[in-house]
Structure 1
Amino acid sequence: MTKVVRARRAVLPEGEAAVSIAIAGETIAAIGAYDEPYDCTDVTVLADDEVLLPGLIDAHVHVNEPGRTEWEGFASVTKAAAAGGITTLVDMPLNSKPATTSVANLELKREVAKDQLMMDVGFWGGAIPGNVDDLEPLWNEGVFGFKCFLGDSGLEEYPYLNQEELRAAMVEIATFGGLLIAHAEDAGTLDQAPHTNGRDFMAFMRSHPASAEDAAIATVIEAVRETGCRTHILHLASASALPLIKAAKAEGLPITVETCPHYLTFDAEEVPDGATQFKCCPPLRDHANRMELWRGLADGTIDFIASDHSPSTADLKSLDTGDFGTAWGGISSVQLGLPAVWTQARQLGHSLSDVVRWMGSNPADVVGIAGKGRLAIGARADLAIVAPDDEFIVDKEALFHKNKVSPYDGRTLTGVVRATWLAGEPIDLEGRRRGRELVRGRDLVQA
């Protein structure tokens, strides 16, 4: 054994327990009683107010490198994620430029990521019109799946799939057992919605109605039924789609769903006009909708939580004018996901075990990340040490992501991440970058 960690409270797959975790190299080698007498002198003992969690997984992060490094980059985002108890993230194929829609573009992204990673990073590929022949080669190169849009992405280089193109992509992905991940807002419904610029948040919300999500999800479900393609619904905001999803799952269709911390935290009614730091797509919805999303998590209709960390430069958020029509739609929260979710979850009677399931083991299972997201023998020794009762006021200037814009600024959250470990060693946020690339179906790529 190279290290031992003792915790009065640790969140294991079977629940909380007082344990000692023995680490051999990068792996959890044994889990014993709190006072288990391991032959090891390198022992870390958690304080009585601390809880040991597995390192968390964020499967929805826009790193934006290469091409838009003024928005974000691998160095800044992995530091922010590590500070938030995350030890694994999966990078979206956009808003980097070029997008990860071919093997050549994937190789470019891999090259720029190398030596910048504070924690482990995998990659999603992209499904856009005209790249069906690129999907299997990307899969064979180790991407975890393929992101598509059913409506305008906001980026010229990343067009959405119409229904014929969607089915063609799904047929292809199903042939090799891949995973499609879908931004589900229906193009036709969005086109028919009223669009007005200005500071009125409710007017912006009406431009992205829940019916656009519901229609797109219905389209996806029917396409899954026809093709058998494994499909994951991204960033669910509309609770009115939950019955559709629940019925599809009951039918045995291979569909999974995520939602995001901001949809579980903020009510549309509380967003001030002109506060464009709250703009995201799909948008925040009302309090009753938020409570339904929590119920969807509780009953398993929603599988996991991911940040959808989608930063931009401050000027693109139109903070000076407060114009929701021109502001970039995205919320940066990779560092705050755990405390944001835990703050609400504990108020609703959920446990840390629930949070670890939603932010650790479930994303690992859905995405296909072996040996992570659990405190278990044989798993990677990725750990988060958290003080679950400590409160703090979010200061956007103290966040590590590149552009200091956050709707959480000034908000009181509960749950302080005191340390994050990667592969059996504490992460030094100012030290050596030990993160590695995750490649689907293979071991970690050596640093």
Structure 2
Amino acid sequence: MSQAPASFSAVTPYRPSDAGRSLMVNDKHRQILDGLREISQESSSRGYHAKAVTSAVDGLRGCAFPVNSYLKDGNPNRRCIVYPDFEIEFEVGSYYGGPQTDVSIVDIRIFRSETKTNTRAALWNVTHTENESGSEWKRSRDPESQLKPTPKCSGTENDSIKIGINGFCKNIDHAISMLPSHITRGNETSLGKLKSSGYQLFYIPQSNSYFRAGWSFVRDLGRTSPSDLKSSQILASHMREAHENGLFIEWTSHRGGSKPLTQAMKLLAKQGVNVAGKQKVFLSDHTSSHFEADRARRAIGMNTTDSKWHNSTKGIAQLVGGQIFGGASLACSINELINHTKREELGGKIAVIGSTAIGGGIAINSTYEKIGKLIAEHGVSPALALSVLSVIGKTAIVGVAAASIPSLNENYHNGPQDPIKNLGNKIGKKLIPQG
């Protein structure tokens, strides 16, 4: 018979009459659990969350541990079961003999305040409202402890629950406003339906500043931070929860959200979970490995019938290489620019034409001169046009991907030219007269 570790020296059986494994607690955790059991009798939000904790503790008596429990590195007996609002750390060992393996509670950590203040990953209901002051996406007052259908979305095959997973952003409200474009793949009809039904956001707090975080994926490729891992564990618990309740879910990640999503699927794969095609993923960014995500989604039985399950928007470097437009006709592009372009979109069009021409092998200086002279007919001075082209063209030459610039990829990209248009329009607004 093993001896209980020193930190468990005061543990004694908790509710020993219950069937299953012996559950061992010390005096502190006994008081916590007794208090939670009393609160769980209340028909209130507080009672609901208390019951969730006590039910999870009782579940540790079973013959198999929950799939959202994870081994601690370097300790084969120490586990932690992760839920959105709380965690239970426990250790397994036959400290008191008998046929069953004892479970000793090491710690019970409640995170309700952290989820409400957006410092811990959590699930939020998001609805769309329109009034005299305009339209906006608004989140629920409190995060959701459980992934469940809403009054306007049943979670059935023909009415699947749409859930967005953010990456780097300014804050939760910024994430809420960005995700609808990606969930609907930039389709206006689908966006209208989403406004009627609402969606859910799995919000992952961002520790870095917005612009710094915008480029951090280059540094972090191939590794998972402790905060991402914790978010992945919480996300995996929701994916497991949806599976157990037979819900149909569409998960859409944006920016760095693809990393926790991929990691969550890997965690479920280790536990042998198979969602039987009732869940699917869409990666609307390029900040993590599509190969790893594909292997993970197949390993847990995700729906893979969609031919397009990630947005592989290419940046300026690929465009300059001619992979998209090749030798597209410069003359036709300039004709469209002169005769069919709104002034506020002029900067974006100039940017794309310049990058396309360079990609087609046309000399940079020659490109600048030709476009500069021709667009003068559109009422814009060649000097201003060349200023726009200079910024775009030189950016293209050094291979910086416009699709990676945070301020250019908030909305869904239907093609590789979108981020370049955005960049050109930003510069154009500063350089080209709009009157």
RCO comparison, higher one (Cα < 8 Å, 6+): 1
Class of the TM-score when normalised by the shorter of the 2 chains: under 0.3
Larger radius of gyration: 2
Hey, which of these two has a bigger chunk of helix by percent? 2
TM-score by length of 1: 0.27
